[in-house]
Structure 1
Amino acid sequence: MNEELLALGQFHFLRPWWLLLLIVVAWLPWAVRQQGDVRRRWRGTIAPHLLDALVVGGRTHRAVRPVHLVTLFLALASIALAGPTWERERPPFLADKAPLAIAIDLTPTMNAIDVTPTRLERAKLKVKALLSHRDGGRTALYAYAGSTHLVLPLTDDAALLQTFVDALETRIMPVPGKNTVQAVRMIDAAMAREPIPGTILLLTDGLEPGAADALRRRDQRTQVVALAIGTQAGGPLKDGGGVAPGLDAAAWHDANVPGTTVTPDSDDDVAWVQRHIQSHVEQASATDTLRWHDAGWPLTIPIALLALLWFRKGWSIRWIAGLVLAIAVAAPQRELLAQSTNPVRPWRFVDLWLTHDQQGRRAFEQGDFARAATLFDDPMWRGVAYYRAGSFAEAAHAFESITTPEAQFNLGNARAQQQKYREAAARYQFALQQRPGWQPAQRNLARMEALLKQQQQKQQGEEEPPDLKPDQVQIDPDKPPPPPADGDKMQQGLVKQNADMWMRAMQTSPTELLARKFALQQAKP
């Protein structure tokens, strides 16, 4: 009942000026009836007692006449064109595009067997179920205990994510203890660069003392939710090394973090996480940026059915099509101009036959890129036209409104043409995050990094490196090559040793690779 009252309070028309057509709807039946009244036209010329005898068929009327259907047609058209609405239109696939960072607790207590088979193994199963529900959504994977480590950055490769999830074990963490606050801060800093508000999912068996206060004071742009694994009674560890404490549900409430417990026999907990991801994105999106849902489109079905009757003999009204066309041409298309990011331009006769994008495409194919940029409504095409015309600043402004990897790649090209190499490199990196392994973006990123390095060397006044290859190397065929020096032998030994290490590393399991990676990350100052 409250939702119905709220919808009624938000009811309005997107284009209310079309309701003026209802004046014509009210006037039309009266005008047609007056025009067809033969008695009224001859009343002042012929005597009334003679007029009744002279008028033939004037007293018979059909219940439904063409004017009645035209009136209904215009009334429905007026309401449909006015755009009735009462709710906001949510962007499609918004929840699927929202980034998700999964942080798995790898403290020893996750080996408790109060949840079968263990708390950690149950967490892995829930991640698998969640990835199947994500349907290609970008997901990152972190592991934390006393330290926090990135396992995989944001990716839509569910198989790769599941491979590394299965490789996680508590023994690979280099620092003992539990530091949830550090994990949330590290992930929050990475998620802050995303254009869409994301969510951090903590798969853990509890909070450490003092973490609730720090989590309660954090920035709320990135949502934190918890999927608690364990029982209130706790349980023994798998290796028999002790007993894990039970869950403390009040800790999550004190930290202002929504949480739920794992449901072993169903995926209700996974559905709960998905609902929180979607609701957070919808709440974080500014209300004024969401379009109102135009509910006038369903009225086109009865309008089309009424239009079919125009082809019946005796029901055709020849002037109605011209009237509707004249109103449609003369009416200001304010809603379309409001949705367009292109500057408002005056109406032209060609607008009756071609859309702005079609006109821009014709100019683009003719090589008139500057004119095409002023015609396009689509920001992607407008940016490409500006780029072809050499207006790189305008092209970058057009590409900035789009977050697709293609648009970010083109934005990087525009910034590179402006010699803003650092910003261009950042755009190529963002495109590679969305489409890993994209060769054009990788090549351009390498060029930007080389140019940035040249700029840095130029600023520092460094000379040309001495290890550049000479233009030509000549070797005397009659003279044997000199034996390698002791330094060269040592270098060759190091190269062979590193190669052997990499070959041995390739034969290790993903768990061992992660253990070495985390140890190296922790050893860095």
Structure 2
Amino acid sequence: MIDLGPLHFLRPEWLWALLALPVLALWLRRTGDAGADWRRAVDPHLLPFLLEPGRASRQRWLGWLAALAYLIATVALAGPAWRRIEQPLWQTRLPMVVAVDLSSASLATDVAPSRVAQMQARLRRLLQSSPEGPIGLVAFADDAFTVAPITDDAANVALFVDALQPDVMPVDGQSPARAIEWSRELIERAGYPRGRIVLVTDRADAAAQQAAVEAHAAGHVVSTLGLGSSDGAAVRMRNGRDVPVALDEASLRQLARSGGGMYAPLSLDGGDDAVFAAVPTGGRANGRGGRGWADEGFRLLPPLVLLALVVLVRRPRAAVALLAIALVPRPSFAADPWLRPDQQAHRAIERGIERYRRGDFEAAAEEFAKADGADAHYDRGNALAKAGRLQEAVSAYDEALRRRPGMPDAVANRQSVLNALKRKLPSGGQQQGQKGGTSKQSQQPRACKPGDPSCQSQPKQPSPQSDAPSRNEPQRSQAPQPPKPSDPSRQARADAAQRERMERALQQAKAAQKPSTTPVDPRQRERRLSDDAALQRVPDEPGSLLREKFRLEHERRQLGGRR
């Protein structure tokens, strides 16, 4: 970008086209004078009768107008700008894994109050400032372990900062090479081809240098933060020996150079922010607001169009040709004709989402229907379901599943709509039955009088349940009929069965309301108390959780033969 005080050019490479302007002016001057050939062949006193008066001056003016149009078009293409506006600025968004040293050396007090306390304070400040991109946390000593996987939720990572103490590590020692390898594996498992690794420690060995070279070759940046001071201090290791430790800045600088990153001493005042911001070329994009120069080249289009009209008026053939091109029939487009079909579909989906949020589900379904894809058909099904067109919604979900078999959201929503359709069917069937004049009472066997020939078609031995009285049935309006000789025995059996069912239901209700007084087996009681005690011993604070997690992971690696 060229900065000329208040005027800026966003695409200054177009200004090179101005070098062709003198050449074009010279060519127009030599070819634009139509009377030059006549002057060489005809006597001067005859020229006024052969040449049109003022033609040369008009040709000269047209040449100047063409040169001015060329100048304006070139400046417009160069992107003149003289004011700033709010606009999205795209920045790289790559994951970052911070690997912290939790060996016994982190307990050294060469920096107040201790190395591990300073490291925790710096991590809190980093996580509170919303770091660029996803972030993960790794702790290492002689082996490396994941404290928090890569996530966009920095607050979730901050929960474990206070628990970062050397006693959570299952083994002691220092292996920065293992920390780099594990951080790289963590980034690649999360699906990122590139990332940033920030190593917080006090030294680096040859194995770490080699690991940094390999990580950088794979597209990752390895930076280092120096933990401690060059004066050092003595610290007691787990084996009981006092060992002096000091910050080796030279090895950490070399490690950062090998990894393509930066080195800085750990600073609580933000002096090491450049280490966390160091990113490689490329990566995932993240839109962020900012202020940028506004391209004002479009403001030069009106005078350019006026100049073009003047030239076209003087050149009717060119005007007719351009008009013919403009009148050529083109296929109609539902959206902007300058957009590709996939861009038009994307615009339709955006309009559908906007209408869906406003509650205009019918219009949203129409917009989603303009796109042809699994997601578009799924969204159309949702809009149709909200609009009450359940059968059409099922068809839309079927189309989405045909485009993308096994789409979980489409399967779940389709089943919900089918359940809603099934719930509507019984109510419709009952209404139809009432209109048809059928009822439950009309379908039950009627009472027969002795000697009635129509009673021969009735079942002679109905089940007791069918003769049992129902409180839901309406009372018969006619007088009770004389029972058959066998009616008392059937009624007695039905009454006995009904009393048995009522007693059983009453006992179940009492058992549900009152605790059982059945004596408990002592062994079962002891087992229950043991389980409750075990649940009480489950760790509910991050330190114990990390300690147990790292121990189990370390044992698993030892059994699997992998560090």
Alignment of 1:248-267 (within 5 A): 248-252=248-252, 256-257=258-259, 258=261, 260-262=263-265, 264=267, 267=270
Question: Does residue 121 of structure 1 match 2:117?
Answer: yes
- What is the CA-CA distance between 1:115 and the residue it aligns to? 2.7
Deviations 1:234-262 (A, max 9, x none): 12459998453223344346653455241
How many Å apart are 1:220 and its aligned residue?
A: 3.1
Aligned equivalent of 2:247: 247
> What per-residue deviation string (whole Å, max 9, x for no partner) do you get for residues 188-210 of structure 1?
22211323401221101113675
Q: Distance in 2 between matches of 1:25 and 1:475?
A: 108
Distance 1:196 1:92 in 2: 23
Residues of 1 paired with 2:325 and 2:37: CA distance?
Answer: 34
Gap change, CA 1:242 and 1:352, over 3 Å in 2:
closer
Would you say the 8 A contact 1:28–1:71 is kept in 2? Answer: no
Q: Residues 98 and 136 of structure 2 are in contact (CA less than 8 Å); yes or no, is this contact kept in structure 1?
A: yes
Q: Aligned residue for 1:190?
A: 186
Tell me the residue number matched to 1:139: 135
- Residues 328-477 of structure 1: pairs in structure 2 closer than 5 A: 348=331, 350=333, 353=337, 355=339, 356-357=341-342, 359-360=344-345, 372-373=371-372, 384-385=375-376, 417-418=404-405, 476-477=507-508
By how many angstroms is 1:386 displaced? 7.7
Q: Which amino acid aligns with 2:528?
A: Q
- The residue type equivalent to 2:204 in the other structure is L
> Which structure 2 residues correspond to residues 139-158 of structure 1 after superposition, within 5 A?
139-158=135-154
Q: 1:301, CA displacement in angstroms? A: 4.5
Q: What is the percent sequence identity of the aligned residues?
A: 24
Structure 1 segment 168-247 matched on structure 2, within 5 A: 168-193=164-189, 194-207=191-204, 211-213=208-210, 216=213, 220-221=217-218, 222-237=220-235, 242=242, 244-247=244-247
Query: What is the CA–CA distance in structure 2 between the aligned matches of 1:55 and 1:218, rounded to whole Å?
Result: 79
Q: 1:243 to 1:81 in 2, by over 3 A?
A: same
Distance in 1 (alpha carbons) for counterparts of 2:535 and 2:403:
37
Paired residue for 2:297?
Answer: 300
How far did 1:129 drift?
4.6
Conservation of the 8 A alpha-carbon contact between 1:98 and 1:281: no
Unaligned segments of structure 1, at least 5 residues: 1-10, 84-90, 286-296, 331-346, 374-381, 391-412, 429-439, 445-472
C-alpha displacement of 1:516: 4.0
Contact in 2 for aligned 1:204/1:226 (Cα 8 Å): yes
> Shift in Å at residue 109 of structure 1?
1.4
Match of 1:489 in 2: 525
Q: Equivalents in 1 of 2:324, 2:228: separation in Å?
A: 70
Structure with greater proportional strand content: 2
* Residue identity matched to 1:304: L
> Aligned with 2:174: secondary structure?
coil
Amino acid of the residue matched to residue 118 of structure 2? Answer: R
Question: CA 1:201 to 1:385, structure 2 compared with 1: closer, same or farther past 3 Å?
Answer: same
Q: How many residues align?
A: 386
Are the structure 2 counterparts of residues 211 and 358 from structure 1 closer, same or farther at C-alpha, using a change threshold of 3 Å? closer
Secondary structure of the structure 2 residue equivalent to 1:143: strand
Q: Select between 246-255 and 111-120 the one with higher mean Cα deviation.
A: 246-255
Deviation at 1:499, TM superposition (A): 4.0
Report the 3-state secondary structure (helix = DSSP H, G, I; strand = E; otherwise coil) of the residue aligned with 1:141.
strand
Residue 217 of structure 2: SS of its match in structure 1? coil
**Letter matched to residue 511 of structure 1:** G
- Shift of the 310–146 alpha-carbon distance from structure 1 to 2, 3 Å rule, reads same
Q: d(CA) in 1 for partners of 2:217 and 2:270? A: 27
Output the CA distance in 2 between the equivalents of 1:170 and 1:132: 24
Q: Give the direction of change, closer, same or farther, for the CA distance of 1:163–1:58 in structure 2 (3 Å limit).
A: same
Is the CA contact 1:234–1:243 (under 8 Å) kept in the aligned structure 2? no
Asked if 1 retains the 8 angstrom alpha-carbon contact of 2:106 and 2:116, the reply is: yes
Give the 3 Å change call, closer, same or farther, for CA 143–329 of structure 1 in structure 2: farther
SS in 1 for 2:112: coil
CA distance in 2, matches of 1:329, 1:173: 77
Query: Given that residues 98 and 196 in structure 1 are in contact (C-alpha distance below 8 angstroms), is that contact kept between their aligned partners in structure 2?
Result: no
CA RMSD of aligned residues (A): 5.8
Q: Which residue of 2 aligns with 1:294?
A: none
Secondary structure of the equivalent of 1:121?
helix
Bigger Rg, structure 1 or 2: 2
Shift in CA distance, 372/107, structure 1 to aligned 2, threshold 3 Å: same
Output the amino acid matched with 1:169: Q
**1:274 alignment partner in structure 2:** 277
- TM-score under structure 1 length normalisation: 0.54
Distance in 1, Cα, partners of 2:254 & 2:311: 77
CA contact (8 A) 2:201 2:226 kept: yes
2:236–2:243 Cα contact (<8 Å) kept: no
> Which one of 141, 156, 159 corresponds to residue 155 of structure 2?
159
The match for 1:500 is 536
State whether residues 33 and 56 of structure 2, in contact with CA within 8 Å, keep that contact through their aligned partners in structure 1: no
Structure 2 alignment gaps of length 5 or more: 1-11, 80-87, 285-293, 353-363, 382-399, 414-503
Would the aligned equivalents of 1:107 and 1:178 in 2 still touch at CA under 8 Å? Answer: yes
1:358-417 Cα shifts (integer Å, max 9, x gaps): 6536699787989844xxxxxxxx563487899xxxxxxxxxxxxxxxxxxxxxx97995
Counterpart Cα distance in 2 of 1:27 and 1:352:
42
User: 2:30, 2:365 → 1: CA distance?
Assistant: 52
Which residue pairs with 1:341 in the alignment? none
Could you tell me how far 1:312 is from its partner in structure 2?
Answer: 11
Query: How many Å apart are 1:228 and its aligned residue?
Result: 1.8
Q: How far did 1:150 drift?
A: 1.5
Q: 1: CA distance between counterparts of 2:162 and 2:275?
A: 23
Distance 1:416 1:500 in 2: 50
Q: Distance in 2 between matches of 1:58 and 1:175?
A: 97
Task: Give the Cα separation in 1 of the matches to 2:262 and 2:48.
Answer: 91
Q: Normalised by the size of structure 2, how large is the TM-score?
A: 0.51
Amino acid in structure 1 at the alignment position of 2:98: I
Seen in structure 2, the aligned counterparts of structure 1 residues 249 and 60 have a Cα distance that, compared at 3 Å, is same
SS in 1 for 2:537: helix
> Does the 8 A contact of 2:33 with 2:59 survive in 1?
no
- Secondary structure at the aligned position of 1:192 is classed as helix
- For 1:315 and 1:321, the matched residues in 2 are separated by 5
Partner of 2:104: 108
Counterpart residue type for residue 102 of structure 1: V
Q: CA offsets, 1:282-334, max 9 Å, x none?
A: 4x89xxxxxxxxxxx9583574263375599999889788877988999xxxx
Cα 1:118–1:362 change in 2 (3 A) is closer
Separation in 2, partners of 1:129, 1:359: 45
Distance 2:320 2:312 in 1: 16
